[in-house]
Structure 1
């Protein structure tokens, strides 16, 4: 058997690279955060993520190295082209934003050149291009030299070093700087919520400032909370040279200004931009960063760009640039126009990093989607059904929702669409049933005290949902004999001063668990502990939908949050489309005019007496497949995993043999969908936290009845009792103690180097006992072989 991937790196590739002039300061081993898996019902992060070789060049000893190449290393006995397609996918998607991609087995290498689109034939590593050659080819392809004045920010070091940035953040910053070095002054960055867009903006402007090319910069955001967050981030790097524009103070003594559209009088088409024009003359700013650049539909706010045509203009957005419209609603058409306007002004994104990539890398929380079907009597009330007609209201109690006056059927509309529910038509039976269903889900997924955001149709709906959930929680606490953690559910809308509760939603551990909102929490605001995003409202805007889902994507280490769930009661997740990132469709006129808004005098009615039933409509997850983020049903996801598993290990015996060896097991897992995360995802989705991944996969691929870790450990002890009794007493006791460690932590626990330091194993005899019986590694391998054959 040839060297493993790790051995190939250290014993073959590293020496060959060093011989070709690639010193350690020019090689950065980019390691991702590590995939997230669920153990014993709790999420945890694997110790190691994916490692990539990034090859960099420097124009001076103290200059910032500039990444130009990616090397994908594979095991010695694989062909040199084995990792090329994966690496090309990284290059073409600009994941690392480098033009040259290499794959090697330690003896031969192949190269893909993104500039030309050509792939080389295999060549010996002794012919690997050196730093000087790649720098010259990079400069030629880019159209500038790294020692050009325009490229100075690109070679200016990070102020606080490189240790705190992630690979894609560096790639995004470089993409903007490369654009500037080419002589262009507009750039669009598309990064998933939680990926650190503010971090990118701060470090981008810091390096430009340190290069002596920043005169004055403006960072524009949409809300006071976002301005506060951004101000803290900029001041941490720029100190007093960064200041918020608020309270009529233009802060002209600072170089970095952080303002909202509202402060600049740019919040709507009716705004007059007085503050902007009165305090900041044309071309006052040398650099402008527009946060959430999709937000205002290219209305009045774009005046700030028109007044500063010479400025470097950078747009930041969390919304995919390419949204496939699934319907021709007024909101969707508006979104389409916003996306087209963004691309028309900024051009195609210079860098993109979607939520699927973030989940895959372990930087964003994994996502499970739970769909629910709601039936009003015999009629489903989701988007697949058009609503309620006047005859559907027959026999129901109908009241004016404001005065309480009972109404006749004749006083109602002929028709109420599903989007009218809880807006023009209040349905208390539906609210109660949905709240009860959601509460039951919370009880089975960790308890009711989970940070949750529920998106509601209007302010009054948010009140009703909060009341229903508080009642359910109070009843549950009484049944369980627990003290209530009040306030539990609370309305968090603009009309209710909801911003005052954001700090409690973020930080409070014993109150403010469920926020019912309309649109206050749709964008930007960081609430990392949120574990559930719930759709009780109908959503027609793809942009708004992606922003709402983004409230759950952040990982929160203090609370242990590494995954989140989307509960979809209104078919909102249809807005993910056939693919999460899909082809952009140019704006066109709708075949039918959008439905006009309700007239101002129309009464809001409340109808009681519906028999409401809620059924499961399927579970899905976001998954990376063939370089794309797509929405897959759980069954389809499992089918793909099983097919790939059997392709790699055709029989249960072959799988067992592969699993026992740490190196071959790691290689197998890395070749499964989602780069090995899929097995852990299935364990989580199927609530198999008590099972080792061996049993999860053995059942999925080969139909073997799964055993829990405890059951497998117990079976090992009695089925191999004769073998154990034939060993010295201290050796047998040590192996039995190791089996108990398997019961607690599975294969990983059994192979943990510290397992011999646990009190139970040490008391039994520990590593010394195994040494007395021969090679400890061989004894451990025999133990694993027997463990997985019971």
Structure 2
């Protein structure tokens, strides 16, 4: 057989895989073909979404099931031996593997990142492919690993056949951490965006260290009860009876894996005695979840635990490193050993992208000043000054503004889905309660069905906090809308949350990332592929900040003056960068309970004025979309389509050549869809103007090159007028006429699949095999389909 006629898959099966087996690679445990790396970015336009092109390596070779060591990119034999190398190098960077190969079936081009002889790339014959042991030996020697270190590094991760397998970035995070510990590093920081599986990654790290007996007693710390409980019942479940949760005033030292709410072992002296019941060298390993919060400060309770158990290896997990002039976890843990950002997660298709609905009110833009000696609804004389956005809902409440926010939220849900889980972030508890009331009134019909349709979930309200699990649980219908201040900023795994409302001024990048993280999880089972951010207070301007998704940079500077703030300067709890801190329960204080009051109760309180009759109107409203690269799209859908297509095809003739030469038109349609071309939305937009239905080919030609579009029925009629079918026999002609009618009704992609022969009217003409034999066989049948498609679209060239 001529090798040039073989497909890429045939080259793999007949040449590459046999070469690997002859070199001693185990096909069951060491060779992974078509290894998935990414899922493809989700691209959103209006109510439509699609996935961009995913990345998949033809081969990933593993020394052990947890250690990828080589990449092979295969091409068919029409390509040169090295044509896949650049693609393979990109995959190798994602997996951090040192050995990269490209092949077309004739041999291999070998790229050796750790070559010591100065020759990075060389060609190898098929029989010269190196063994797994050879590659591992080269890699171990390069890193200077001894036998004991290799034993730890090669310890398998947990797998029971049904348990999920780590994604490429999780593999990197796990392996880099294990290797660092093997080489003696005891302070490690991992930065992974919310929703990318920090806890699962931590579990696999702990499992490998525990199973290898490198670490025998391990403490996992989190700052929310729900996080500890979820961890025990989900990711950490395989630890079984070796695992326990530390409760207040209860210590049992017979376990090996301990999980704790850090407040349970810190606080007053009685609480502190709990962790002091453990000797300072009791734990070999401590893993701190969300270490950007309490542990970042030098004098925090977390830091106190870490310093008490200072001999233990300590791993910090965070989505948003806390870095200010006074607070630094990089100062404590060191630079991140691995970072996987929000942008990477969205680009790879593991995190949900977002659209932004930005709404500005007239009073927010121009401010408001009270009339002379004006009083609020409680009879308090309002201080005469200009109030603007930073005052609203803190020192001044415009009740009609609150109602307008609630109205816009409700309008959006009515246009999409009244049961889409929604979190409304408010300035404080008082604001969250007023917003709850306004939303109840706007959604009176839904509240009449179930009073829990809208709930305030804040730290001071037991009824609301009791519903947090129901809000998070995808199967629970209620609550649907949650108003909050700080309680749901972090640690809330709301997989089905589709709308995040920002009626809170946010100037802290850390807090902004935490809030956005509430919507980034994908849940395909419940139709959650993307989410919407509705912004009333310009918070989304932080997306434009270059630091939004940048690498964490240490800016910690020892404070010169650590003197306490005078009591008269204390108002609301604030972080060191001037924004409210996430709610904690440290030392028994729930910071959400510290609030500005509307009635004067003491010398240091701040009055909040509540004003009834001031009109508030929408000044501007716009929807913002993001392209396949995550950049803001400012042009219309038509303009975006035109600009995208002209980058791919310089002229109409270029597009026509590509269209007519494609074996299946669906392949081109899929390629364009992966670039964010939404044919359904374009068809609706063009169809509204003309009242007609067009298929993708005509939409592209019309929108991009201004060609008059033809409907499918018009194209089908043109083919019939040309007496196209006279060259075929009666039976074949009846089949092709039926296919042409199917094209007119349903489009070109439906006639390209042989399965269409299993439905009427073709079933009246015989079985699919009999029909295909009418044309002389499958190859001749496919050729007839291709010629029919050329006839359908040939009118465009005339």
Shorter-chain TM-score bucket reads 0.7 to 0.9
Unaligned runs of 5+ in 2: 573-602, 687-692
Q: 1:380 aligns with which of 341, 346, 365?
A: 365
Is 1:609 matched up with 2:614? yes
Distance in 1, Cα, partners of 2:641 & 2:83: 20
Corresponding residue number in structure 2 for 1:435: 406
Distance in 2, Cα, partners of 1:38 & 1:751: 28
Distance in 2, Cα, partners of 1:254 & 1:686: 63
CA-based RMSD of the aligned residues comes to: 4.2
SS at match of 1:193: coil
Q: 1:348 aligns with which of 335, 341, 352?
A: 335
Give the 3 Å change call, closer, same or farther, for CA 738–195 of structure 1 in structure 2: farther
Corresponding residue number in structure 1 for 2:393: 422
**How far apart are residue 463 of structure 1 and its match?**
2.0
Give the 3 Å change call, closer, same or farther, for CA 218–698 of structure 1 in structure 2: farther
**How far apart are residue 597 of structure 1 and its match?**
4.1
Report the TM-score when normalising by structure 2.
0.79
Give the 3 Å change call, closer, same or farther, for CA 738–212 of structure 1 in structure 2: farther
**How far apart are residue 657 of structure 1 and its match?**
4.2
**How far apart are residue 718 of structure 1 and its match?**
3.5
SS at match of 1:495: coil
Give the 3 Å change call, closer, same or farther, for CA 725–39 of structure 1 in structure 2: farther
Deviations 1:684-739 (A, max 9, x none): 799879987656765665456788xxxx5444443434467656464145414643
SS at match of 1:262: helix
Distance in 2, Cα, partners of 1:736 & 1:504: 53
Q: 2:324 aligns with which of 336, 340, 363?
A: 336
Distance in 1, Cα, partners of 2:435 & 2:705: 46
**How far apart are residue 337 of structure 1 and its match?**
4.7
Is 1:546 matched up with 2:548? no
**How far apart are residue 351 of structure 1 and its match?**
2.3
Deviations 1:753-781 (A, max 9, x none): 65544567656767343542453322333
**How far apart are residue 292 of structure 1 and its match?**
0.7
SS at match of 1:546: helix
Corresponding residue number in structure 1 for 2:491: 524
**How far apart are residue 517 of structure 1 and its match?**
1.1
Distance in 2, Cα, partners of 1:435 & 1:706: 44
Distance in 1, Cα, partners of 2:671 & 2:23: 31
Is 1:772 matched up with 2:769? no
The total of aligned residue pairs comes to 727
Distance in 2, Cα, partners of 1:580 & 1:201: 25
Corresponding residue number in structure 2 for 1:294: 292
Corresponding residue number in structure 2 for 1:246: 247
Give the 3 Å change call, closer, same or farther, for CA 755–21 of structure 1 in structure 2: farther
Distance in 2, Cα, partners of 1:288 & 1:741: 64
Distance in 2, Cα, partners of 1:183 & 1:372: 53
**How far apart are residue 199 of structure 1 and its match?**
1.3
**How far apart are residue 309 of structure 1 and its match?**
2.6
* Residues 359, 534 of structure 2: 8 Å contact kept: yes
Deviations 1:481-521 (A, max 9, x none): xx845432221111223321123223455432111111111
Corresponding residue number in structure 2 for 1:326: none
* Residues 44, 625 of structure 2: 8 Å contact kept: no
Corresponding residue number in structure 1 for 2:598: none
Distance in 2, Cα, partners of 1:663 & 1:31: 26
Is 1:98 matched up with 2:97? yes
Corresponding residue number in structure 2 for 1:120: 120
**How far apart are residue 549 of structure 1 and its match?**
0.9
**How far apart are residue 318 of structure 1 and its match?**
1.7
Distance in 2, Cα, partners of 1:688 & 1:142: 59
**How far apart are residue 22 of structure 1 and its match?**
4.0
Give the 3 Å change call, closer, same or farther, for CA 40–276 of structure 1 in structure 2: same
Corresponding residue number in structure 2 for 1:503: 469
Corresponding residue number in structure 1 for 2:36: 31
Is 1:406 matched up with 2:379? yes
Corresponding residue number in structure 2 for 1:385: none
Corresponding residue number in structure 1 for 2:527: 560
SS at match of 1:248: coil
Segment drifting more, 487-496 vs 272-281: 272-281
Q: How does 1:6-155 map to 2 (within 5 A)?
A: 6=9, 9-10=12-13, 13-24=16-27, 25-29=29-33, 30-32=35-37, 34-35=39-40, 36=42, 41=47, 43=49, 49-53=54-58, 55-58=60-63, 64=65, 66-74=67-75, 76-77=77-78, 84-85=85-86, 87-92=88-93, 95-104=94-103, 109=109, 111=111, 113=113, 120-121=120-121, 123-124=123-124, 126=126, 129-145=130-146, 147-149=147-149, 151-155=151-155
Distance in 1, Cα, partners of 2:792 & 2:229: 56
Distance in 1, Cα, partners of 2:386 & 2:345: 43
Segment drifting more, 16-25 vs 361-370: 16-25
* Residues 427, 505 of structure 2: 8 Å contact kept: yes
Corresponding residue number in structure 1 for 2:674: 677
Distance in 1, Cα, partners of 2:604 & 2:707: 64
* Residues 328, 554 of structure 2: 8 Å contact kept: no
Q: 1:578 aligns with which of 546, 565, 569?
A: 546
Report the TM-score when normalising by structure 1.
0.80
SS at match of 2:249: coil
Q: How does 1:199-214 map to 2 (within 5 A)?
A: 199-214=200-215
* Residues 733, 765 of structure 1: 8 Å contact kept: no
Distance in 1, Cα, partners of 2:696 & 2:96: 34
Distance in 2, Cα, partners of 1:351 & 1:616: 39
Distance in 1, Cα, partners of 2:742 & 2:373: 66
Distance in 1, Cα, partners of 2:531 & 2:357: 11
Q: 1:569 aligns with which of 515, 530, 536?
A: 536
**How far apart are residue 666 of structure 1 and its match?**
8.8
Distance in 2, Cα, partners of 1:669 & 1:578: 35
* Residues 437, 614 of structure 1: 8 Å contact kept: no
**How far apart are residue 91 of structure 1 and its match?**
4.7
Distance in 2, Cα, partners of 1:501 & 1:37: 33
Distance in 2, Cα, partners of 1:119 & 1:414: 74
SS at match of 1:305: helix
Corresponding residue number in structure 1 for 2:178: 177
Deviations 1:119-164 (A, max 9, x none): 934635646544334212311232214x425642533353425862
Corresponding residue number in structure 1 for 2:308: 307
SS at match of 1:352: strand
Corresponding residue number in structure 2 for 1:324: none
Give the 3 Å change call, closer, same or farther, for CA 78–474 of structure 1 in structure 2: farther
Distance in 2, Cα, partners of 1:396 & 1:510: 49
Corresponding residue number in structure 2 for 1:627: none
Give the 3 Å change call, closer, same or farther, for CA 302–80 of structure 1 in structure 2: farther
Distance in 1, Cα, partners of 2:618 & 2:301: 46
**How far apart are residue 578 of structure 1 and its match?**
3.0
Corresponding residue number in structure 2 for 1:472: 442
Is 1:361 matched up with 2:366? no
* Residues 191, 318 of structure 1: 8 Å contact kept: yes
* Residues 30, 62 of structure 2: 8 Å contact kept: yes
Distance in 2, Cα, partners of 1:114 & 1:696: 51
**How far apart are residue 564 of structure 1 and its match?**
1.4
* Residues 56, 65 of structure 1: 8 Å contact kept: no
